[in-house]
Amino acid sequence: MLYLIQIGFFKITFWDILDILIVGYMMAQVYKLLKGSLGFNIFLGIVFVYAIWWLVTGLGMPLLSTILGQFISVGMIALLVLFQPELRRFLLLLGQSSVQSRFKFLAKYFYPRQAELDSHNPEKERLIREVLRALDHLADTKTGALVLFLYQSGIEGLYSSGIPMHAQISAQLLISVFNKESPLHDGAVIIGSQKILLASCVLPVSESPNIPQKLGLRHRAAVGITEVSDVIAVVVSEETGKISYIRGGQITQDIQTEWLHKVLTKVF
């Protein structure tokens, strides 16, 4: 076997370096996934308990070492329970990214003309303009709204009590759904496959401490659903009329619809 580095009888191969790089990348991704969430504080607590166990074991303190050892022996199960939302999000994003990248590659390779036509689809442009016209009206009238855009896969099982619509996208319909007198206004609208799929959907609320206190339940629900799925959420504030864009749990506040037009055109 070819050794890249050899110090005495300590030998490092190409596979050792690759192993270290992969583990380092995984640790960086875990840190990125947990940073800014309650899970990060839990993770630090577990690291602290492990460090104390290692210390008391080295100092020969059998009673405390046994107690902490019992805790650490079930650590993997505890990690699965405590970090269930983060693990779900990580695996979901990993699977969606893989499927999307494979599909794009195959589509460009086998159907280059179709990919070009899809990027200049006039119907897609019309539907995006209808959504933006509705958002402009809702913002001008300070009507609260929460709209989700699906562009990779569904989010079945992540919402509850949605009313099926499967309706054509139109500004008038979106405005009427979010009208304060409408029975459907108090939930999220889900748009996908060039249709308004559902209305009045209840979404999981984020517990992230990084969400500004001034933002309400709609924004927290938008952050919550984008933390566990790769969707785009757009929120119109009922208090200020400002439009916010949320993706991957990150909020971009006070955006203009022309900027949103560029984003939606790109991702769709």
pLDDT tens per residue across span 123-152: 888 899 999 999 999 999 999 999 999 876
Give the mean model confidence (pLDDT) for residues 108-121: 53
Strand ranges (E), the chain: 3-7, 10-13, 145-149, 163-168, 188-192, 195-201, 232-236, 243-247, 250-252
Answer yes or no: is pLDDT of 51 > 60. Answer: yes
Least confident of 90-94, 104-108, 202-206, 260-264: 104-108
Between 236 and 154, the higher pLDDT residue: 236
Between 187 and 1, the higher pLDDT residue: 187
The residues spanned by each domain of the chain are 3-88, 89-119, 121-267
Supply the pLDDT for residue 264: 86
**Pick from 256, 259, 235: nearest CA to 247:** 235
Q: How far apart are CA 188 and CA 178, in angstroms?
A: 9
Q: How far apart are CA 217 and CA 195, in angstroms?
A: 25
Q: How far apart are CA 219 and CA 17, in angstroms?
A: 43
The CA-to-CA distance between both ends of the chain, in Å, stands at 49
Contact of 156 with 197, CB cutoff 8 Å: no
User: Using one digit for the tens of pLDDT, what is the confidence trace for 142-196?
Assistant: 999 999 998 766 677 777 778 899 999 999 999 999 998 888 888 899 998 889 9
pTM greater than the 0.85 cutoff: no
DSSP codes joined into one string, 123-183: HHHHHHHHHHHHHHHHHHTT--EEEEE-SSS--TTS-BS-EEEEEE--HHHHHHHTSTTST
Cα 145-149-154 angle, rounded to 5 deg: 125
Structure letter (DSSP) for residue 122:
H
Q: How far apart are CA 20 and CA 15, in angstroms?
A: 9
**Pick from 44, 21, 15, 14: nearest CA to 31:** 44
- Which of 3.40.50.2000, 3.70.10.10, 3.40.1700.10, 3.40.710.10 is the CATH number of 121-267? 3.40.1700.10
DSSP-assigned beta bridge partners for residue 6? 11
Q: How far apart are CA 243 and CA 224, in angstroms?
A: 17
Amino acid, single-letter form, for residue 244? S
Structure letter (DSSP) for residue 205:
P
Answer yes or no: is pLDDT of 201 > 80. Answer: yes
Contact of 258 with 129, CB cutoff 8 Å: no
